Amino acid sequence: MLDRFYRCIAKPMLFRLDAEAVHHMILTILAHTPSMAPWPDPPALNLSLWGIEFSNPIGLAAGMDKDAVAVHAWHSLGFGFAELGTVTPRPQPGNSGPRLFRLPDGGALINRLGFPGAGMDAFGARLERLRRGRIPIRLGINLGPNKDTAPGAVVEDYAALMNRLGAYADFIVINVSSPNTPGLRNWQSPERMREIYAAITGGQTTTRPPILIKLAPDLESAELLKICDTATELGFNGIVATNTTLRRKELRVKSDYEGGLSGRPLLELARGIIADIYRHTGGRIPIVGVGGIASAEDAYGHIRAGASIVELYTGLIYEGPGLVAAIKAGLAGLLRRDGFGSISQAIGSAVRT
């Protein structure tokens, strides 16, 4: 019902308007909508990861709620968790517009937003207010440096973010893979990961939330696997795979817009990377699978390739707010069909020999 309303009425109207204007409008509506308890999740979708209970493995990907303005809405829509951010230490406007584009025939988006946001103090104050009530959903917080931070001070940006916001997070994601902040992807190297890890943990290993690193889908295979080895060796608690891609031709996408491509064309690329990481690490480091998910089959495919939990962004724009409930219902059916009693049993089942 909600699906049909979105597809037949809301989406055709919204898709005539500027994509970023619609984003802000919807976020404002969600932020002011009273929260509603979603239907309880089927027990087969519950899972425990890093000692944290997730009622279902479907999460909101980073970028949708950069300033933590609509936390309750993500719970109402049925998500099991939301990755907020990317948040930067200081407020910044992001890149000049237009900077968000739809490719409707491909079920894709291209963005070059460049982390616009109100900064970590506004973000922290909002979470503080929420904590006084009860936050009904697991929260990841995705951290990134300011655009005008000198390369030599990027590590300090991550450390400052961790100090200010670490206490509010169920898990932290170190974003070194957005293509729209110059030089950021260079931090995807073993040496630089070491620097970041030392700075954000400050030698602390116990009283901190799990720390994940989010990778680009554009790394060479050998480089990717080296980075995964370093992440495991350093003590990172997980890998988010993947961010948006700069590839076009290989994915048969015809578009001249600059920026990161997300949505349907990314599905197989992200899944291949998830499977490579899972195979290489023998499942020792949890993977958060993201890229192109727009159905229960898509989510299930990422989980069977090795993802413990999954996230989506672009699929929500194309399929609408009923998508999360539809994915959860479909996923429960797919688990039953394949004889899995729980999500945990399905993780990596397409890759394990």
The residues with which 338 forms a beta bridge, in sequence order, are: none
User: Does 314 participate in binding ligand FMN (rule CB under 6 A)?
Assistant: yes
Q: Is 178 a catalytic residue?
A: yes
| Interacting residue with ligand FMN among 312, 334, 335, 343 (CB under 6 A) | 312
Question: Which residue is catalytic, options 55, 76, 177, 178?
Answer: 178
What is the token pair recorded at 67? 């300033």
Q: Which positions from 81 to 100 touch ligand FMN by CB under 6 A, shown as an x/- string?
A: -----x-------------x
User: Does 63 participate in binding ligand FMN (rule CB under 6 A)?
Assistant: yes
Q: Which positions from 271 to 290 touch ligand FMN by CB under 6 A, shown as an x/- string?
A: -------------------x
User: Angle at which helices 120-132 and 154-165 pack, to 10 degrees?
Assistant: 20
What is the token pair recorded at 54? 């997730």
Q: Which of 122, 110, 85, 44 is nearest to 240 (CA)?
A: 85
Q: Which of 125, 101, 102 is nearest to 112 (CA)?
A: 101
| Rounded least distance, CB 266 to ligand FMN, Å | 5
From 130-138, 148-156, 298-306, 311-319, give the range in contact with ligand FMN by CB under 6 A. 311-319
Residue closer to ligand FMN (CB basis): 24 or 352:
24
Residue closer to ligand FMN (CB basis): 57 or 292:
292
Strand runs (DSSP E) across 112-195, as ranges?
138-143, 171-175
**Size of interface with ligand FMN, in residues (CB under 6 A):** 27
Pairing of strands 260-263, 238-241: unpaired
For residue 318, report the phi and psi dihedrals to the nearest 5 degrees. Answer: -85, -35
Contact 217, 291 (CB under 8 A): yes
- Between the alpha carbon of residue 276 and those of residues 75, 223, 228, 283, 332, the distances in Å are 31, 12, 10, 10, 26
| Interacting residue with ligand FMN among 26, 45, 71, 113 (CB under 6 A) | 113
Residue closer to ligand FMN (CB basis): 228 or 266:
266
User: Does 313 participate in binding ligand FMN (rule CB under 6 A)?
Assistant: yes
| Residue ranges in contact with ligand FMN by CB under 6 A | 61-63, 66, 86, 100, 109, 111, 113, 115, 142, 175, 178, 214, 243-244, 262-263, 266, 290-293, 312-315
